[in-house]
Amino acid sequence: MTLLTAAVATTANATPQAAADQFPYNDERFADLQMLRYQVPGFNELSLRQKTLVYCLNQAALYGRDILWDQNGRYNLRIRQMLETVYTNYKGNRNTPDWEAFVTYLKRVWFSNGIHHHYGCDKFQPGFSQEFLRAAVKSVPQSQLPITAANGSNPAAVDALCDELFPIMFDPTIMPKRVNQADGQDLILTSAENYYGQGVTQAEAEAFYTQMKEAYTNPKQPIMFGMNSRLVKENGQLKEKVWRSGGLYGPAIDKIIYWLKKALLVAESEAQKKVINKLIEVYQTSDLKTFDKYTILWVNNTEDDVDFTNYFTESYGDPLGMKASWEAITNFKDHAATERTRKLSDNAQWFEDNSPVDARFKKEKCKGISAKVIVAAILGGDLYPSTAIGINLPNSNWVRAEHGSKSVTIGNLTDAYNKAAHGNGFQEEFVIDQATQKLIDDYGDYCDDLHTDLHECLGHGSGKLLPGVDVDSLKAYGSTIEEGRADLFALYYLADPKLVELGLTPAPEAYQSQYYTYLMNGLLTQLVRIEPGKDVEEAHMRNRAFIANWVLAHAAADSTAAPAVQLVKREGKTYVQVNNYPALRKLFGTLLAEVQRIKSEGDFDAARNLVETYGVKVDPDLHAEILARYKALNLAPYKGFINPKYELVKNSLGIITDVKITYDEPYDQQMLRYSSQYRTLPYIND
């Protein structure tokens, strides 16, 4: 294990920047979506056993795909099959507006795992005509169309299929929203999600689960009622159709179990075997107490490199917030990043002793925290293609309270977002000149990560309150001050020679990239996330604003030369201009000392004054300018990922010798492959 750590760390550090930048992070763009690709650094350095384990867990992660499609809407699997049959077989003219609109529609449906927007939940309105689609459907092989017994037989069956599915696609009044949250309406009857059977009302569902909760005999350890079932009405009686082997979604779940059993054979440890075995038991029984036991085993399994989640997990898709959508991710530890955080943690006391903070506010004994950074190997279900960049599970409150949770950041996805943003014109628009742009190109991403590490591993853990000071004395300003304190600690030390000594900085001037982007964000570009006329409200945005504005205001105070940083206008556009980076570091240090004093003494008035003066108000003219410049860039608001492809390499005896990873599968080919290779469920699941 130790050997592997070193080997991976060396390889990752040695990756030339140029090679990394040639990876095609940006893929195609359509509607409001930008497709991205992510690399899986470190995969090739895993042992064969670990690679095989990842492969098996990936298979389990992909075999649940149909479940999510059905959860998102009763007709999604049928519509998908109909659209894909047309997409692959249509012999007509593919150069018409109708065809183009059809392709865009299908790509959006793929992205959303159904016919409603993945984020806004509104049904997509097709940009092509019903006549076009009917003619297209009639032109393709009937045997591949999702015709059911109810559609009758040749030749009327195809028309009957269109008659049945077209209103669901085209009529804006039918199933208009996947998840309706409008107060005062029956949220279940008006939502198109498939978590409740036909005719079940909100009042009935609420009464059903209230009764179930009241009858539960262990209120201190409540299970997540209703989480893994559809609630249906049969002969006037409400009942749960549970998702398990032999139950609803059984065919998909059996495939998942099959691959989990394969994973057992190559598991890394006994503890990990227990986790996988317990999950299999959950899939077999759907018992929610067993599920809690599984999550406890999972939370405690922190030693192994490879990790995963694979179950019904988040409940955003249910208007009542109970029923969980199926999702999966396979991942492994990022040893290079973990090595970085370990170096910082090991030297926590040095950083504490040498900070510009008053000695009275320093910790005598300082312990750093090793954060876990992971590499995603595959995204599945509700994490694909749109995904999270951090995971914090399980969701059960009592399990979290008694056993803790796993909180990780997914380094390679964050990295892909960053890299993809390089070519999109954003920095070209807002960065002042080529020299600064080059600095950011060379060191920006690396220093972003380092800033996060310093912030998380050292910043939050540094300093102490004076005896008798109430932890809540800063009240509403508490989290802004705390985040600012951690940021300032990171900013101050990013420029320290100690990082060179520890081998954590690629070049002595690298920190300047972070200084520039931090100030540019705090002074200018984070304003794109605020509506015109509004103040800065969110704690992280406030902390960045107060740091940047305070530094700007104090940059000229003690110097007759040019200020350390200033805002300049060129051709009507505002830019950040840094004249003196070492002087900036001094300013960050001065503010760090003051913010630590505020925290240590619980000085509420000073906290309020600092945040209200520098962190809340927005200059309306500057705000309007930034919003206009951002809008002109026409960037896609939503992004999602194409997965890499994994293939087993076998020798002539059929023995696995390697697992090969490739990154060049086109978006449509990946979706079509998943639909054929991982298709598990009937078109309609009742």
Name the E strands within 483-600.
565-570, 573-578
Q: How far apart, in Å, are the Cα atoms of 167 and each of 112, 129, 163?
A: 19, 12, 7
CB of 455 to Zn ion, least distance (A): 6
Question: Which residues 6+ apart lie within 8 Å of 364 measured at CB?
Answer: none
Q: Please, which residue, 385 or 459, has the CB nearer to Zn ion?
A: 459
CB of 370 to Zn ion, least distance (A): 16
What is the three-class DSSP state of 654?
Answer: coil
Q: Please, which residue, 82 or 488, has the CB nearer to Zn ion?
A: 488
Binding site for Zn ion (CB under 5 A): 483, 486
Q: Please, which residue, 452 or 574, has the CB nearer to Zn ion?
A: 452
Q: d(Cα 28, Cα 86) in Å, to the nearest integer?
A: 21
CB of 457 to Zn ion, least distance (A): 11
CB of 486 to Zn ion, least distance (A): 5
CB of 453 to Zn ion, least distance (A): 12
In the chain, the N- to C-terminal Cα span, in Å, equals: 48
Q: Please, which residue, 156 or 369, has the CB nearer to Zn ion?
A: 369
**Residue ranges of the alpha helices (H) in 246-347?**
250-265, 270-285, 288-300, 335-346
CB of 440 to Zn ion, least distance (A): 23
Question: Which residues 6+ apart lie within 8 Å of 320 measured at CB?
Answer: 187, 188, 202, 205, 206, 209
Q: Please, which residue, 42 or 463, has the CB nearer to Zn ion?
A: 463
Phi-psi region of 167 (alpha: psi -120 to 50; beta: other; left: phi over 0): alpha
Neighbours of 322 (CB within 10 A): 17
Q: Please, which residue, 439 or 491, has the CB nearer to Zn ion?
A: 491
Residue nearest to Zn ion (CB): 486
| 522 token code pair | 């705090």
Q: Please, which residue, 137 or 457, has the CB nearer to Zn ion?
A: 457
CB of 460 to Zn ion, least distance (A): 6
Closest CA to 51 of 641, 649, 643: 649
Cis (ω within 30 of 0) for the bond into 167? Answer: no
CB of 389 to Zn ion, least distance (A): 15
Neighbours of 91 (CB within 10 A): 8
What is the three-class DSSP state of 325?
Answer: strand
Q: d(Cα 544, Cα 125) in Å, to the nearest integer?
A: 40
CB of 399 to Zn ion, least distance (A): 24
Q: Please, which residue, 460 or 498, has the CB nearer to Zn ion?
A: 460
Contact 37, 663 (CB under 8 A): yes
Q: d(Cα 603, Cα 595) in Å, to the nearest integer?
A: 10
Q: DSSP letter at 664?
A: -
Q: d(Cα 465, Cα 481) in Å, to the nearest integer?
A: 14
Q: Please say whether the dihedral angle defined by the alpha carbons of residues 459, 522, 446 and 437, taken in this order, is positive or negative.
A: negative
CB of 482 to Zn ion, least distance (A): 7
| 534 token code pair | 């509004």
Q: What is the 3-state secondary structure (H, E, C) of 598-616?
A: HHHHCCHHHHHHHHHHHHH
Q: Please, which residue, 407 or 677, has the CB nearer to Zn ion?
A: 407
Residue with tokens 């004076």: 466
Q: Please, which residue, 318 or 483, has the CB nearer to Zn ion?
A: 483
Q: How far apart, in Å, are the Cα atoms of 654 and each of 46, 49, 93, 661?
A: 21, 16, 45, 19
CB of 452 to Zn ion, least distance (A): 9
CB of 375 to Zn ion, least distance (A): 22
Report residue 115: phi and psi, to 5°. Answer: -90, 5
Q: Please, which residue, 366 or 379, has the CB nearer to Zn ion?
A: 366
DSSP 117-182: -TTT-BBPPPSS-HHHHHHHHHHS-GGGS---GGG-STTHHHHHHHHHHHHHHH-TTSS-BSS---
Q: Please, which residue, 267 or 373, has the CB nearer to Zn ion?
A: 373
CB of 541 to Zn ion, least distance (A): 13
In sequence order, the β-bridge partners of residue 570 are 573
Q: Please, which residue, 325 or 517, has the CB nearer to Zn ion?
A: 517
Q: Please, which residue, 69 or 477, has the CB nearer to Zn ion?
A: 477
Q: Please, which residue, 194 or 543, has the CB nearer to Zn ion?
A: 543
CB of 487 to Zn ion, least distance (A): 8
Phi-psi region of 223 (alpha: psi -120 to 50; beta: other; left: phi over 0): beta
CB of 646 to Zn ion, least distance (A): 35
